[in-house]
């Protein structure tokens, strides 16, 4: 299918305002006479709140009001999947930073002074910071229902029979750490009451409709009395799926007759927002001497912190993907999400799959090495193909591009190996290079749950086309992609589509900007809405031409009979006639991928309609003296179904590699210790290597023009590829991230350098 707009590198929607500084983010909004909001937070990780005294703060000049839990007009609980988090603590705090009181003041300075005079009496309780300790019978309860939030099991075949039929069995333990999202823009927003008494919240967010759904019961009002509008958002990576400033803004605006604003400092953002789930993974893998995978058994424990957030989703997705993109006849996985008194863990790019990919891809390289097989060949021999059955019992019927991605990176793998062999001798003493491979798969959308999106397309009497979508663009480019899909469907130039997005009064729910779902699911909803409009206009055009509808085409803003393009009529003319005859032309699009719930005992079911696949190869240099590892080159091949905008896809791949370098080599968040970017190291331009993005297109029949998603998949193979490259360079396996200076020095401390000590690395 030849497309005119889809598949092209068009200019991003809104990009000129962003690069010229005209774009207004939440903290940039100029709201006259706005009050400043600040939160008093718990200084302890676990305790019973016995007394809250706000009298001194309330008596200060410039303090308008201090709110506590008793001031919440509705329900003092929220959470999209698991409603267990308080807006303001009523009787218990569960992590250091839990909100207790909210101050509304004339200025930030006054609010800060008021924080110092609030007196809170807390009876401290024993705190739990290790999920395995939290699971012990004698452990104190963080929540009344117990410390186990959720347990997901996946069972296919008979793993014991699978291991019995294996010639080689590998059992290892892996551990990943808590990570901070570190988006450029901290949490911020403003709120006010409009002339109709509606509380309007303008906020940086990944899901305005979910925010709206949670704010309604907190305020105890009808849904039309709250409006949430997404402002320009400076990154999210999952961290802006949970509410942050939203309930505080809404609560203050509900009571006060003045607008309010709230901006988290970087320190407050670090202390009080969701983090990536740390996982402990015990994995056992069996294979035959011919290199056929026979069994995978995995035990996963996820630290979900003080509140559930997206812990259920992470534990489930980690379990579903634990065996990797490979045909394994016998699989058993148990994945637990456990409460602790750490910062709560939530959604972060990949929902647990980047963590389990480290385990299954390390296992693949270890098995390939023991079997004496090339790591790419070993993967290709076991990779999914059309007709393969996943660990949940789902038969893959289309768009299975994992083998193609492996074949695409093989030339890079060979070239990098040659580069390593050529460079070993000239390298400084103690410096080694290695090449690593990793693959991944990722289910698009929510796991085994309804996952709909909706969109509308309107055409007015002037022929102007407006696309309405609830999808939040957080920098990943969904605005651009959805406009491209609408333009392609209607046969219009890209610039002719006007966009209204992410406003709960003007747009319908498109679901979260998460799970790499917007291009696939919202894109299909946009396609359906635009198709309805196109069908109406084709009928009018056919009447004007006096020919059947199936003989009319529309391209580049003109309708014309097939094979008689010279008789074309402008889109605007057809639209004007249609509106005159039928009134407003409006298409309503809706798409909900077909899934089934996973069986609670066996995990069997259809969690996703389609999957993204990818493979990556990385060239890494390791300095054994300092312990520093650096990525020199990377090639990453991604099956995206169809690249609606190749530049967007490449941008996601570049960012995924950068984020994966940080995850693999130096990022680590320590609860109650890591406070800001001065101690939390993230990649800079100096850390990002030469990256070769490779787009693989194996169309998904249910996707718009065959498209799937790439946002989270772009990250997933990077860290395991780096770790496998470190092994090739040093001879040592890294089973716990990050592979930072201390970790590598610890692994290689017994290795003797060229300065008089025996070299235990051997040839590459």
Mean pLDDT by 10 residues, the chain (764 residues): 90 96 96 97 98 98 98 97 96 98 98 98 98 98 98 98 98 98 97 97 98 98 98 98 98 97 98 98 98 98 98 98 98 98 98 98 98 98 98 98 98 97 85 97 97 97 96 97 98 97 98 97 98 97 94 94 86 96 95 98 98 98 95 98 98 98 97 94 95 98 98 98 97 97 84 35 27
**Hey, which residues does 282 pair with through a beta bridge?**
173, 299
For residue 166, the number of C-alpha atoms closer than 13 Å in the C-beta half-sphere is 25
Which tokens sit at 490?
């209607």
Q: What is the pLDDT of residue 755?
A: 29
Q: What is the pLDDT of residue 761?
A: 28
Where in the chain do CATH 3.30.365.10 domains reside? 15-21+452-591, 127-179+275-384, 412-446+609-764
Q: What is the pLDDT of residue 1?
A: 66
Euclidean distance between CA atoms 174 and 724, whole angstroms: 14
Q: Residue holding tokens 């101690």?
A: 679
Other C-beta atoms closer than 10 Å to the C-beta of 129 total 16
Q: What is the pLDDT of residue 758?
A: 29
Q: Which helix (H) or strand (E) holds 534?
A: helix 523-545
Euclidean distance between CA atoms 724 and 461, whole angstroms: 60
Which tokens sit at 282?
């015990």
Residue 104, phi-psi category: left (phi > 0), alpha (psi -120 to 50), beta (remainder): beta
| CATH 3.30.70.260 holds for 412-446+609-764 | no
Grouping H, G, I as helix, E, B as strand and the rest as coil, residue 496 is: helix
Chain segment 728-740, per-residue pLDDT in tens: 999 999 999 999 9
Asked if residues 376 and 437 have their Cβ atoms less than 8 Å apart, the reply is yes
Q: Are strands 148-156 and 63-67 parallel, antiparallel or unpaired?
A: unpaired
Euclidean distance between CA atoms 111 and 57, whole angstroms: 9
Which tokens sit at 761?
């690395």
Asked if residues 158 and 297 have their Cβ atoms less than 8 Å apart, the reply is no
Strands (E), 460-565: 465-469, 497-501, 552-555, 558-561
Which tokens sit at 384?
């999914």
Q: What is the pLDDT of residue 113?
A: 98
Q: Which of 392, 371, 610, 318 is nearest to 382 (CA)?
A: 371
- Specify the CATH number of the domain 31-125+181-272: 3.90.1170.50
The 10 Å CB-count burial string (b at 16+, else e) for 181-195 is: bbbebbbbbbbbbee
Q: What is the pTM of this model?
A: 0.96
Q: Residue holding tokens 């706000």?
A: 54
| Domain 127-179+275-384 CATH (choose: 3.40.720.10, 3.30.1330.10, 3.30.365.10, 3.30.2320.50) | 3.30.365.10
**Hey, which residues does 467 pair with through a beta bridge?**
457, 499
- Specify the CATH number of the domain 15-21+452-591: 3.30.365.10
Q: Which of 233, 246, 241 is nearest to 204 (CA)?
A: 233
Where in the chain do CATH 3.90.1170.50 domains reside? 31-125+181-272
């Amino acid at each position: 299918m030849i497309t005119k707009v889809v598949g092209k590198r068009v200019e991003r929607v809104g990009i000129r305002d962003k690069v010229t500084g005209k774009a207004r983010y939440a903290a940039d909004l100029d709201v006259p006479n706005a009050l400043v909001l600040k939160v008093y937070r718990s200084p302890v990780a676990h305790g019973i709140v016995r007394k809250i005294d706000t009298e001194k703060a309330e008596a200060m000049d410039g303090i308008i009001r201090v709110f506590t839990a008793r001031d919440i007009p509705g329900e003092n609980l929220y959470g999209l999947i698991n409603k267990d988090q308080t807006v303001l603590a009523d009787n218990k705090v569960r992590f250091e930073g839990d909100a207790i009181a909210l101050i509304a003041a004339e200025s930030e300075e006054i609010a800060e002074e008021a924080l110092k005079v609030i007196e809170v009496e807390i009876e401290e309780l024993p705190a739990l910071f290790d999920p395995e300790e939290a699971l012990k019978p004698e452990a104190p309860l963080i929540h009344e229902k117990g410390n186990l939030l959720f347990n997901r099991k996946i069972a296919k075949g008979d793993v014991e029979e699978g291991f019995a039929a294996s010639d080689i069995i590998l059992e290892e333990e892996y551990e990943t750490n808590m990570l901070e999202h570190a988006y450029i823009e901290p949490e911020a927003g403003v709120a006010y009451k409009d002339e109709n008494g509606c509380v309007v919240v303008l906020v940086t967010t990944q899901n305005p409709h979910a925010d709206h759904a949670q704010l309604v019961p907190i305020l105890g009002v009808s849904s039309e009395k709250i409006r949430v509008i997404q402002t320009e958002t400076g990154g999210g990576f999952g961290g802006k799926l949970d509410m942050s400033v939203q309930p505080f803004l809404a609560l203050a605006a509900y009571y006060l007759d003045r607008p309010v604003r709230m901006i988290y400092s970087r320190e407050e953002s670090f202390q009080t927002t969701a983090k990536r789930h740390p996982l402990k993974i015990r994995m056992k893998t069996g294979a035959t001497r011919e290199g056929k995978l026979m069994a995978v058994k995995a035990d996963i424990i996820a630290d979900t912190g003080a509140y559930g957030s997206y812990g259920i989703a992470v534990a489930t997705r980690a379990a579903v993907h634990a065996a990797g993109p490979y045909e394994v006849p016998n699989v058993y996985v148990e994945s637990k999400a456990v409460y602790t008194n750490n910062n709560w863990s939530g959604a972060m790019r990949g929902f647990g799959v980047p963590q389990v990919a480290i385990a299954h891809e390390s296992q693949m390289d270890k098995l390939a090495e023991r079997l004496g097989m090339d790591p790419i060949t070993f993967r290709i021999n076991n990779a999914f193909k059309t007709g393969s059955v996943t660990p949940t019992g789902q038969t893959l019927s289309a768009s299975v591009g994992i083998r193609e991605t492996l074949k695409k990176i093989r030339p890079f793998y060979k070239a990098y190996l040659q580069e390593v062999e050529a460079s070993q001798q000239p390298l400084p003493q103690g410096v080694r290079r290695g090449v690593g491979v990793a693959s991944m798969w990722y289910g698009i959308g929510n796991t085994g749950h309804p996952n709909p999106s909706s969109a509308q397309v309107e055409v007015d009497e002037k022929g102007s086309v407006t696309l309405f979508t609830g999808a939040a663009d957080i920098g990943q480019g969904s605005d651009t992609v959805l406009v491209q899909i609408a333009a392609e469907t209607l046969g219009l130039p890209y610039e002719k589509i006007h966009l209204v997005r992410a406003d709960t009064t003007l747009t319908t729910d498109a679901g979260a900007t998460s799970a790499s779902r917007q291009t696939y699911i919202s894109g299909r909803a946009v396609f359906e809405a635009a198709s309805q409009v196109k069908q109406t206009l084709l009928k009018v055009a056919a009447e004007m031409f006096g020919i059947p509808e199936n003989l009319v085409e529309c391209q580049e803003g003109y309708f014309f009979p097939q094979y008689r393009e010279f008789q074309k009529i402008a889109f605007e003319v057809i639209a004007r006639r249609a509106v005159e005859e039928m009134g407003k032309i409006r298409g309503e699009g809706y798409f909900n991928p077909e899934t089934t719930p996973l069986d609670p005992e066996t995990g069997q079911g259809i969690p996703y309609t389609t999957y993204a696949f990818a493979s990556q190869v990385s060239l890494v240099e390791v300095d054994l003296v300092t312990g520093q590892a650096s990525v020199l080159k990377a090639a990453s091949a991604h099956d995206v179904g169809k690249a609606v905008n190749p530049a967007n896809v490449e941008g996601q791949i570049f960012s995924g590699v950068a984020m994966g370098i940080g995850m693999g080599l130096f990022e680590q968040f320590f609860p109650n210790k890591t406070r800001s970017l001065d101690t939390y190291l993230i990649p800079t331009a100096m850390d990002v290597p030469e990256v070769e993005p490779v787009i693989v297109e194996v169309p998904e029949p249910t996707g718009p023009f065959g498209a799937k998603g790439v946002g989270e998949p772009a990250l997933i193979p990077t860290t395991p590829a780096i770790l496998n490259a470190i092994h090739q360079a040093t001879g040592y396996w890294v089973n716990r991230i990050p592979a930072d200076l201390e970790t590598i020095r610890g692994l290689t401390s017994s290795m003797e350098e060229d300065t008089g000590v025996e070299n235990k690395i051997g040839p590459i």
